[in-house]
Structure 1
C-alpha cells in the first residue's frame, strides 16, 4: 500500500468508528428497513391500488407511533455497541467564544 492509501484508510476508520456515525447507522437502519419492506411489496406486479394505499398508510402510522422512541432507541443501541467495540462515547465540549485580549476561559458575570 502507498502512504496515501494507508493515510486515507486511517482517516476513514476514524470517521466510521465514531459514536455519532454509529447512532446514524442505527437510526437509518431502522427507518430504511421498514421502507424497504413496503417498497418490495409495491414492486410486486400483482399488487393493486387498494393494497398499495393500505401499505403506505400502515407505514405512515408505524412511523407516527415510532417517531418519539426511534431516536432514543438508536442512541441506546449505539451506546451498547460502542461499549462492546471499545469506542468512546464522548460528547463535544462547547466552548464560549472569547473576546480579543480576554484571558479567562469562562469569565463569569460578577
Structure 2
C-alpha cells in the first residue's frame, strides 16, 4: 500500500503519513487506531517486540474513584456515544496489555 492509498483510507494527506513515518510528527492513539484499521492489522501489531518487563507498572491501591482525575476520566468516558466508547475501550485494553 502506498502512502497516498493509506492517507486516503485514513482521511488525511499523504504528507502527514510521511511525517509519521519519519518521526517528524507524533501519532495520536486515535490516529494509530485508524491506521491499524486501514491496514487490516490489530493495533497490537505496532507494539510487537516491546519488552513488558522494561516498563514500570504500579499497582493501584485504594479506591480508584477517590482520585479526581480517575473520576473525571470515567465521567468523560460515559459521555462518549456507545459505539465510539466501545472502540476506545478496546484501544485502552490493547494499550494496557502492551504496557
**What range describes the TM-score normalised by the shorter chain of this pair?**
under 0.3
Q: TM-score, normalised by structure 1?
A: 0.24
Name the larger-Rg structure.
1
Q: TM-score, normalised by structure 2?
A: 0.26
Work out which structure has the larger RCO, using CA pairs closer than 8 Å and 6 or more positions apart in sequence. 1
